[in-house]
């Protein structure tokens, strides 16, 4: 069967590989002149920057695609496990390294925060329990169909529903179990991994630390862009045809069935169509005359990001690949995002890929991917908000690091929610599609198939099971399973 895929993001490339291996003739249409969607790169004045996602977990989902194709992943794609997952900094001078080795991390917590051994392991054990009870159900199954709900896994999870903490917020749960404000803040931060608010998101999201502190955090050799490059080349080797600079104008539907697309005014026939585009503009722009799932499309959108890409003409030995500079006003920061604004003291994330990929910056310099969480675009005055945020970020980093950061910047590029929307068609620049701030968040996401249009499928961060590299890859797997039943 001839399959048309809209969008060459991570999910789009992964479903292209899977569909091709199922024996289909696959073509991918991408509006940009490059693959990867948000996971792209750019270079300027001797610096290289990964433009999008900077955290890599669950690499086995990438490896799986190579093995399905009969290839050895390490022949084309390699990565290293991080010994330090992230460094954390507070205004009072506290600096904490989250080591991958749990025993070593507990030593660090004892020394820096006087937190007794066992506290961290108990929290991580709780995270593991949540994953083992719900991971296969919510992350690997088509939860919008009845069949998965009659499995043994669901029965087991229902018997231990009390362990999932569905009816408490992440913050309530962490506050009750941890007591220490800095460790509470550390665990609350995992809500931001899918663009959510720890003061509103369900405690079941405490599953997220398990991905980072059990499976581990990794760095691809050559940078995050090599995830994109590896999947693109894998797809091409398996017969997938990519069309770049091709913006799809409409999905053609006839008698309740997806029959193809319209691109550059041309009708192109397909036996099935898969959208890797954000589900909201897929309906609004590509399916304007079809019935829309209004409840899903009106659901709260996730947060977005404001990113400053800075070439820094100095090296900072106290910093690592991943670094977090926490706000002293954490709840107020999320309240501001909820209200559509940016707090004056935001939590700042600094990713420095040149720590591991030395050629990403000139000698003695560093490439800083400097990001704060911000609301998605809903008409704010970004031309006013961005310089204010920039000033607050520079003041914060300068205070904590004890040096005037602005004087060290020799090149700067900026990515804001408006540009994210323009480049990736993510509605409002929301990084993860629908937010996960409610107990039924998993069900607020669109299914990987259309209930009303036969032969129409969806994959990627805006649909089930969610955003981020691992979930986009799982989304492609679920979609491929649905496609095999068509």
Per-residue model confidence as pLDDT tens digits over 394-418: 999 999 999 999 999 999 999 999 9
Residues paired with 217 in a beta bridge: 57
Split at pLDDT 50, 70, 90, the class of 213 is very high
Q: How far is CA 213 from CA 64, 135, 253, 318, 468, in A?
A: 21, 16, 45, 21, 17
Q: State the Cα angle at 324 between 382 and 51, rounded to 5°.
A: 55
Domain ranges of the chain: 119-213
Q: How far is CA 19 from CA 166, 402, 447, 467, 480, in A?
A: 35, 53, 18, 21, 6
Contacts of 407 (CB under 8 A, 6+ apart): none
Within 10 Å of residue 481's Cβ, how many Cβ atoms?
A: 15
| CA dihedral over 353, 359, 363, 369, signed as positive or negative | negative
CA 267 from chain centre, in angstroms, equals: 33
pLDDT on residue 134: 78
> Averaged over 147-160, what is the pLDDT?
59
| DSSP secondary structure string for all residues of 446-470 | BPSB-SSSBTEEE-STTBTT-SSHH
Within 10 Å of residue 140's Cβ, how many Cβ atoms?
A: 15
Q: Across all residues in the chain, what is the average pLDDT?
A: 93
* Tens-place pLDDT, residues 359-383: 999 999 999 999 999 999 999 999 9
What does the CA dihedral 270, 273, 277, 282 come to, rounded to 10 degrees? 100
Residue with tokens 């959510």: 196
pLDDT on residue 146: 58
Q: Which of 64-78, 267-281, 431-445 has the lowest average pLDDT?
A: 431-445
What is the phi/psi pair of residue 201, to 5°? -70, 145
Tokens standing for residue 265? 């005014």
* Tens-place pLDDT, residues 19-68: 999 999 999 999 999 999 999 999 999 999 999 999 999 999 999 999 99
């Amino acid at each position: 069967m001839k399959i048309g895929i809209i969008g060459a993001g991570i999910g789009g490339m992964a479903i292209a590989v899977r569909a091709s291996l199922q024996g289909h003739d696959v073509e991918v249409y991408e509006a940009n002149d490059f693959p990867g969607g948000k996971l792209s790169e750019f270079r300027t004045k001797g610096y290289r920057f990964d433009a999008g996602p900077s955290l890599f977990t669950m690499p086995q989902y990438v490896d799986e695609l190579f093995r399905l194709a009969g290839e050895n992943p390490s022949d084309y794609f390699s990565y290293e496990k991080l010994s330090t997952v992230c460094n954390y900094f507070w205004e009072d001078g506290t600096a904490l390294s989250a080591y991958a080795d749990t025993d070593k991390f507990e030593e660090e917590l004892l020394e820096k925060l006087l937190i007794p051994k066992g506290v961290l392991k108990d929290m991580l054990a709780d995270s593991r329990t949540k994953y083992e009870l719900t991971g296969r159900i919510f992350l690997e199954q088509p939860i919008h169909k009845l069949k998965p709900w009659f499995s043994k896994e669901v029965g087991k999870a229902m018997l231990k529903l009390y362990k999932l903490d569905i009816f408490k917020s992440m913050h309530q749960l962490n506050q009750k179990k941890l007591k220490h404000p800095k460790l509470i803040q550390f665990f609350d931060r995992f809500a931001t991994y899918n663009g959510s608010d720890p003061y509103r998101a369900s405690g079941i999201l405490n599953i997220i630390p398990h991905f980072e502190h059990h499976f581990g955090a990794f760095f691809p050799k050559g940078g995050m862009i090599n995830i994109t490059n590896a999947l693109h080349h894998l797809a091409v080797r398996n017969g997938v045809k990519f069309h770049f600079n091709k913006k799809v104008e409409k999905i053609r539907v006839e008698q309740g069935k997806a029959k193809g697309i319209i691109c550059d005014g041309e009708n192109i026939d397909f036996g099935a169509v898969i959208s890797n585009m954000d589900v909201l503009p897929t309906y609004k722009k590509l399916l304007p005359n079809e019935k829309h799932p209004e409840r899903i499309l009106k659901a709260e959108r996730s947060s977005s990001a404001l990113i400053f890409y800075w070439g820094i003409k100095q090296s900072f030995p106290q910093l690592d690949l991943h670094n977090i500079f926490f706000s002293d006003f954490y709840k107020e920061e999320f309240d501001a995002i909820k209200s559509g604004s940016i707090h004056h003291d935001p939590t700042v994330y600094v990713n420095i890929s040149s720590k591991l990929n030395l050629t990403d910056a000139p000698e003695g310099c560093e490439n800083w991917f400097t990001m704060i969480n911000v609301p998605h675009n809903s008409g704010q005055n970004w031309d006013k908000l961005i310089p204010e945020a920039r000033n607050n970020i520079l003041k914060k980093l300068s205070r904590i690091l004890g040096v005037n950061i602005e004087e060290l910047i020799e090149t700067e590029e900026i990515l804001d929610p408006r540009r994210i929307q323009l480049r990736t068609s993510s509605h409002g620049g929301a990084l993860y599609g629908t937010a996960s701030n409610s107990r039924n968040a998993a069900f607020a996401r669109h299914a990987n198939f259309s209930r009303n249009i036969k032969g129409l499928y969806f994959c990627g961060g805006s649909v089930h099971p969610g955003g981020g590299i691992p979930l986009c890859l799982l989304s492609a797997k679920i979609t491929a399973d649905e496609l095999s039943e068509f």
